[in-house]
Amino acid sequence: MAMPELCQLAQRGDLPRIRAVLASSPCSDRLLDTRHRKSGDSVLHYAARHGQVAVLRYVCEDCGLSPETGNVDGKRPLHEAAQAGHTECVRYLVGRSVQIDVLKRADWTPIMLACTKTNLTVVKLLREAGADLTIRNKDGWNCFHIACREGDVNILNYLLDCDSTLWDSVSTNGRTPLHTASLHGRVGAANILLQRYLFDEHGLPVDTPASGSGLTALHFAAKEGQTNAVKLILRFGSSANTKDGKGRTALHMASGGQHAECVRVLLNNEAQDGPDCSGNTAEHLARKQAVKEIFSQLH
């Protein structure tokens, strides 16, 4: 049987058939060690990715495959199980004392991948096994920054309870977790950050600019039309008229993106239209009639 077929059995969790195939093969070791031609995935990767813990246990314990097997991207079974949120596979692999902070290509650890999903149990298992929450990937993001992008409030609160300094990080492009949460409209995440850190001794000014661009959380939210995030940030004292490095306000961002409701909210919160460094006003940037009408109604 060719390797892809064996992997299909692993995906389905058909352990009896896998046993039968290997028992009937004169070269079972070579069959098990065969990889997907392009990805380099092994039976272990397929089992972990699809949550087949019985297959994972069998090929590790009975067949002797190493749970540290990597594919061409450097992903190991723990990466696969964590990314897919398969609790029992993660529990099994952690119990085998695999490397917790092993990096795949682009410097992603298993806990970073776990934070792209909503399975708090997996995150806890990795943390309790010693996962480092402060490791950063090639983009300068740690697992908390990634969790802010996804917005699961349970994971965010847990990570902050483990390390209350995680909020204070900056990505390679100069964004804080608050910037990222605002950009993606993760209102729950932004609310946690603002409630927990805006007024404490650390100080998280709501209008802290991203280094380089000068964009604030309000700019990012308005740019993507994240109306609820815009409303939240304004409630926490953001100035509707803060300018970025090019002289643009959030109103420029919302108008340029044709986000009519964001434009309405900003104008109702004392946003003032004026020229940016290129001489463009927000009203000039409004191309859609719906956005233009808002300006005309409020003039």
Give the start-to-end residue ranges of the domains of the chain: 1-132
DSSP state, 41? -
**CA contacts within 13 A on the Cβ side of 195:** 11
- What CA–CA distance (Å, rounded) separates 35 from 23? 19
Q: Which CATH class is domain 1-132?
A: mainly alpha
Q: Long-range contacts of range 12-19, CB-CB < 8 Å, 24 or more positions apart?
A: 12/50, 12/52, 13/47, 13/50, 13/52, 13/54, 13/55, 15/54, 15/55, 15/58, 18/55, 18/58, 18/59, 19/58
Backbone angles phi, psi at 173, to 5 degrees: -90, 15
CA distances from 187 to 116, 125, 145, 236, 260 (A): 16, 27, 14, 12, 19
**pLDDT for the residue 226:** 98
**pLDDT for the residue 2:** 47
DSSP state, 16? H
- What CA–CA distance (Å, rounded) separates 37 from 29? 17
Q: Over its length of 299 residues, how does the chain's per-residue pLDDT go in tens digits? A: 445 678 889 999 999 999 998 888 877 777 777 777 788 899 999 999 999 999 999 999 999 999 999 999 999 999 999 999 999 999 999 999 999 999 998 899 999 999 999 999 999 999 999 999 999 999 999 999 999 999 999 999 999 999 999 988 899 999 999 999 999 999 999 999 998 876 444 556 889 899 889 999 999 999 999 999 999 999 999 999 999 999 999 999 999 999 999 999 999 999 999 999 999 999 888 877 777 777 776 55
DSSP state, 108? B
**pLDDT for the residue 198:** 67
**pLDDT for the residue 1:** 42
pTM of the model: 0.90
**pLDDT for the residue 203:** 55
